[in-house]
Amino acid sequence: MIDTLRLTAEGAKRLLDAKEISGPELFAAYLEAIGERDPELHCFLHVCDDPGGDGIPIAVKDVIGTKGIPTTAGSKILEGYVPVYDSTVVSRLKAHGLRILGKTNTDEFAMGSSTENSAYGPSHNPWDPSRVPGGSGGGSAAAVSAGLAPWALGSDTGGSIKQPSALCGNVGLRPTYGTVSRYGIVAFASSLDQVGPVARTVRDCAFLYSVIAGRDPCDSTTVELPQPVQLPEGESLAGLRIGVPKELNEAEGIEPGVREAVERAIELCRELGAEVGECRLPLSVEYGMPCYYLIAPAEASSNLARYDGVRYGYRTPDPADRLDMYKRTRDEGFGDEPKRRILVGTYALSAGYYDAFYGQAQKVRTVIKREHDAAFGDFDALVSATSPTVAFPLGARTADPIAMYLSDLLTIPSCMAGLPGLSIPCGLSEGLPVGLQLVGPQFGENVLFRIGHALEQALGFDMVPERLR
Amino acid sequence: MAIDREQLLHVAHLARLELREDEIERLGAQLNDILAAVSKVSELDLADVPPTSHPLDLVNVWAEDEPHVSLTADEALANAPQRDGDMFRVPPAGS
């Protein structure tokens, strides 16, 4: 009997190596869990047959291109699209023998914080199905927490890995920009998009990162890791300096229960031997959200120009002429959120507004980067909550785009600076998981893994949702 | 600052979006809320700050010009909404 609710990828590998279970048995156990719980949670848009082999199964967010397996990015405009090549990250998974379980639900084109923007209906939080799993990578995060996959790949532009991991109570890494290839990924905002791992433990997360990271000749924005990934082992934080950015920790809208859980985790860092001190990121937090919601839509408006009904994806029936085909294909194929972002982005890039909006936002980005550089002069990592709130009820923020955008208030600043961020569960508030965000300097993943692992051991958080125990 | 119906339709045309009447009203109102929120960036005086377009300091990434196997015509056309031989078929340009 394989208990997928408790099995880690590392544990699965041990069982496979000891021949206590076979590859087909392991894959079948996850398919059975999906059959049992996914009708309620709707984590998967597509479930795969076992491709064979003894590798560990993995779920993949549906913005990640998979040869021969439908890839919709949660959009009607890509309904029925089947890539003819693998993304580099999927090639790397396969080269390690990992087997793809299926494609997970996402907000349309990864634009959102709840999966409610998916054209195929929302996913549900395994801790409380009346609540969202976060987004955009809510399908991957909910699948890992509900034991439907031992680990998964997500993608993160302004918080789409870290925030769902926080809301579902598991471990998610947004890697340093440039360390993971974007080749074959459905593009949203190219100077921000990063693929990263979602897992049940920090060690699994670190291992999966080592599988996907490194330079790819097909993506000229990638670099080799300056040092190899170290799987964390120790439980001491002696010798580390951890900064507590005042503005991230005192931001408006942080729920009291979230604040308490984060404060306990910070105290624990001190008990484990870290030196803890306050630091400042005043402009990053105040101007991060507006900066992000100019730069990301501007890049999205350009990236989404490719959906024109010519080469792949949806085409409107019986167009009068080519312009009519473009316009009606895009109106009928895109949902509200991509349309909002295309319109904002096109406006911000248009003649007469470029300097005031896009150009100014790029300068704010420099300011954000400089503030983080200064903080990392004094500290090895920065700590705060990942999300200001625990998982919110479905429908609570759908009518108000700005309220939804504020879900990413705490994750956005470090994304703008291209820095790595790890979210680990640090406790419960009102019976729902609270995520702790650890941000490192560029290429600082190993220090995040070390801190995350030590805290994970000391906290002993039970990742299995209470209602499924 | 608010964008009116005419400006919204102009931007939508630039983005090749045919907005329906109900969308013009709904998205137009939301667009104004979003633009009001993001306009906050103009509060800062950043005349002397250089822009950041990319978080990595990569300059001139070159690759050797080596031929390699690419997609076949059939593969490239596999997802075409409409195909005509080895070409994508599209409706004629309008008048």
pLDDT 10s digits, B74-94: 999 999 999 999 999 999 998
The residue type found at B72 is T
Q: How far apart are CA A313 and CA A79, in angstroms?
A: 6
Would residue B21 count as lying in a domain?
Answer: yes
What architecture is the A9-282+365-468 domain classified under in CATH?
Alpha-Beta Complex (3.90)
Q: Are A180 and A404 within 8 A, CB to CB? A: no
From chain A, the residues in CB contact with B79 under 8 A are: 80-82, 84, 311-313
Instruction: Please give the DSSP secondary-structure letter assigned to residue A392.
Output: P
Q: Go through A12-28 and write b for each residue having 16 or more CB atoms within 10 A of its CB, e for each that does not.
A: bbeebeeeebebeebbe
Rg (CA), chain A: 21
Q: Are A28 and A12 within 8 A, CB to CB? A: no
What confidence score (pLDDT) does residue A397 get? 95
Hey, is the C-beta of B36 within 8 angstroms of any chain A C-beta? no
Determine which helix (DSSP H) or strand (DSSP E) holds A327, and give its type and residue range.
Answer: helix A322-333
Q: CA A395, A386, A421, A74: dihedral to nearest 10 degrees?
A: -10
Hey, is the C-beta of B9 within 8 angstroms of any chain A C-beta? no
Q: How open is the CA angle A146-A149-A152, to the nearest 5 degrees?
A: 110
Mutate to test the interface with A, among B52, B57, B61, B83 (most CBs of A within 10 A): B52
Alpha helices in A178-321 (DSSP H): 202-212, 246-249, 256-271, 282-303
Hey, is the C-beta of A221 within 8 angstroms of any chain B C-beta? yes
Would residue B67 count as lying in a domain?
Answer: no
Residue among A90, A135, A94, A99 nearest A117 (CA)? A135
Q: How far apart are CA A439 and CA A425, in angstroms?
A: 15
Average pLDDT over residues A3-13: 98
From chain B, the residues in CB contact with A323 under 8 A are: 16, 93-94
Give the domain range for residue B22.
Answer: 1-42
Would residue B18 count as lying in a domain?
Answer: yes
Contact B88 A311 (CB under 8 A): yes
Cα distance from N-terminal residue to C-terminal residue, chain B:
36
Average pLDDT over residues A11-20: 97
User: Per the structure block, which two tokens stand in for A123?
Assistant: 């996913």
Looking at chain A, how many residues does it have?
Answer: 469
- The per-residue pLDDT for range A338-358, each reduced to its tens digit, is 999 999 999 999 988 999 999
Q: Which chain A residue has its CA at the smallest distance from B2's CA?
A: A347
What confidence score (pLDDT) does residue B1 get? 54
Hey, is the C-beta of A257 within 8 angstroms of any chain B C-beta? no
For the cut 70, the answer to whether the pLDDT of residue A187 exceeds it is yes
- The per-residue pLDDT for range A250-288, each reduced to its tens digit, is 999 999 999 999 999 999 999 999 999 999 999 999 999
- The per-residue pLDDT for range B31-73, each reduced to its tens digit, is 999 999 999 999 999 999 999 998 998 888 898 899 989 999 9
Alpha helices in A334-359 (DSSP H): 336-349
- The per-residue pLDDT for range A304-339, each reduced to its tens digit, is 999 999 999 999 999 999 999 999 999 999 999 999
Question: Which percentage of chain A shows pLDDT scores above 70?
Answer: 100
What confidence score (pLDDT) does residue B94 get? 81
Q: How far is B85 from chain A (nearest CA, A)?
A: 14
Determine which helix (DSSP H) or strand (DSSP E) holds A152, and give its type and residue range.
Answer: strand A151-156
Q: How far apart are CA A391 and CA A387, in angstroms?
A: 9
Hey, is the C-beta of B49 within 8 angstroms of any chain A C-beta? yes
Interface confidence (ipTM) of the complex: 0.96
Residue among A158, A220, A330, A119 nearest B14 (CA)? A330
Q: CA A74, A79, A84, A90: dihedral to nearest 10 degrees?
A: 20
The residue type found at A246 is K
Q: Are A363 and B46 within 8 A, CB to CB? A: yes
> Any idea what the CATH number is for the domain that residue B15 is in?
1.10.20.60
**Average pLDDT of chain A, as a whole number:** 97
Residues of A serving a catalytic function are 61, 136, 160
For the cut 90, the answer to whether the pLDDT of residue A1 exceeds it is no
Q: How open is the CA angle A240-A246-A251, to the nearest 5 degrees?
A: 130
How many domains does chain B fold into? Answer: 1
Would residue B1 count as lying in a domain?
Answer: yes
Question: Range with the lowest mean pLDDT among A215-224, A397-406, B75-84?
Answer: A397-406
Q: Are A190 and A182 within 8 A, CB to CB? A: yes
